[in-house]
Amino acid sequence: MTAVTDAVTTTGPRGGISQSVTDSLVVAKRNLIRMSRIPEMVIFGLIQPIMFVVLFSYVFGGSMNIGGTTSPSVYREFLMAGIFAQTVTFATAGAGAGIADDMHKGLIDRFRALPMARGAVLTGRTLADLVQTALTVVVLAIVALLVGWRVHNGIPKALAAFALLLLLGYAFSWIGALIGLSVRTPEAATSGGLIWLFPVTFISNAFVDSSKMTPWLRHIAEWNPFSATVQACRELFGNPGVSPSDAWPMQHPVWASIIWSVLIILVFRTLAVRKYRSATA
């Protein structure tokens, strides 16, 4: 019986921020271990964007007019920033499904009854998703290079573009966290996490030249947070099809991308953590 009743010394209450960081990393580690044990999920997550690259490049490739040319190779270069950005936003579904699953299995209750930092379960989850997103982006970049995509403005700018992409993915995974806490089942979180992404990613400059859209649609596309990142990536990668629009986010896409992502994180993190505190599984 001694093994059970022996008092165990804890490190005692620690400072707010240091505890938040430790707890978040503990939860992130847990989620990464999980992902490594369900490799099929990671693999499906890779197949989807690769399929998009191939389908868009070869099916749409010859019929898209980008910067006055319908050359398939130009469209492929144009397309990649859009596919990268769309891929990172799919992290939303992963975060949502993971958190809904934790709710469903009673794990959120267990976490909530532990003396841990309030946001740590969600932060840990979104950090793990960030790692997975980064992995996906690397694989996708290799495939993109194989179909003819190139970086024209040097490595530092390309890395900056990837940083913006990861920031966007991280921001969107907080939207996923909120969805995961709000639905009843992991299945609902997966579809709920994906459905709204289609209009967001399609009413944008990701796959077509937004300047050719009807005016009201064009305004939405140009102010779409997602479009800012796509535009910024095209600029930083030196890819064709950078929109000449006067809209502020299209003129200052890097700043617009950062501002949008940070804003999304602030709003959705606040909402998700509040929801978590009253969450009932």
Partner 1 sequence: MPGAIHAEGLVKTFGDVRALDGVDLDVPEGTVLGLLGPNGAGKTTTVRVLTTLLQPDSGKAVVAGIDVLKHPNEVRRSIGLSGQFAAVDEYLTGRENLQMVGRLYQMNAKAAKKRADELLERFNLADAADRTAKTYSGGMRRRLDLAAALVVSPPVMFMDEPTTGLDPRNRQALWGIIQELVAGGTTLLLTTQYLEEADHLAHDICVVDHGRVIARGTSDQLKAQTGGERVEVVVHDHEMIAPARDVLGRYGLSGIGHGEVTVEEHTRKLTVPVTGGAKLLAEVIRDLDARGVEIDDIGLRRPTLDDVFISLTGHAAERAEDENGEAPTDAKDRRKSRKEAAK
Shortest distance in whole angstroms from residue 271 CB to partner 1: 13
Which lies closer to partner 1 via its Cβ, residue 24 or residue 89? Answer: 24
Q: Which of 56, 84, 90, 111 binds partner 1 (CB under 8 A)?
A: 111
Helices (H) and strands (E) in the chain, counts: 14, 0
One of 59, 113, 155, 244 touching partner 1 (CB under 8 A)? 113
* Distance of closest approach, residue 111 Cβ to partner 1, in angstroms: 7
Q: Give the one residue of 15, 68, 115, 215 binding partner 1; rule: CB under 8 A.
A: 115
Which of 59, 113 has the CB closer to partner 1? 113
Q: Which amino acid is at 55?
A: L
The phi and psi torsions of 118 (rounded to 5 degrees) equal -65, -40
Tokens of 110: 């267990």
Residue 204's contacts (CB-CB under 8 Å, 6 or more residues apart) are 82, 210, 221, 224, 226, 227, 230
User: Can you tell me whether residue 193 is helix, strand or coil?
Assistant: helix
CB of 194 to partner 1, least distance (A): 21
278 near partner 1 (CB under 8 A): yes
Q: Which is nearer to partner 1, 7 or 155 (CB)?
A: 7
Q: State whether residue 68 is helix, strand or coil.
A: coil
Interface with partner 1, residue 116, by CB under 8 A: yes
CA contacts within 13 A on the Cβ side of 255 = 5
Structure token pair of residue 73 = 């190779």
Q: How many CB atoms lie within 10 A of CB 37?
A: 8
Q: Checking phi first, is residue 217 left (phi over 0); if not, alpha (psi -120 to 50) or beta?
A: alpha
**Sole binder of partner 1 in the list 1, 17, 59, 155 (CB under 8 A):** 1
Residues between 257 and 276 with contacts to partner 1, criterion CB under 8 A: 275
- Each residue 8-37 as x (binds partner 1 by CB under 8 A) or -, in order, gives xxxxxxx----x--xx--xx-xx--xx--x
Over the window 183 to 202, marking each residue x when it contacts partner 1 by CB under 8 A and - when it does not, the resulting string is -x------------------
Q: Work out which of 38, 145, 159, 266 binds partner 1, going by CB under 8 A.
A: 38
Sign of CA dihedral 76, 78, 81, 87: negative
Residue 218: CB minimum distance to partner 1, A: 36
Q: Which two tokens stand for residue 60?
A: 């749409």
- Cβ atoms of 27 and 125 closer than 8 Å: yes
Judged by the rule CB under 8 A, the positions of this chain that interact with partner 1 are 1, 3-14, 19, 22-23, 26-27, 29-30, 33-34, 37-38, 105-107, 109-116, 120, 182, 184, 275, 278-281
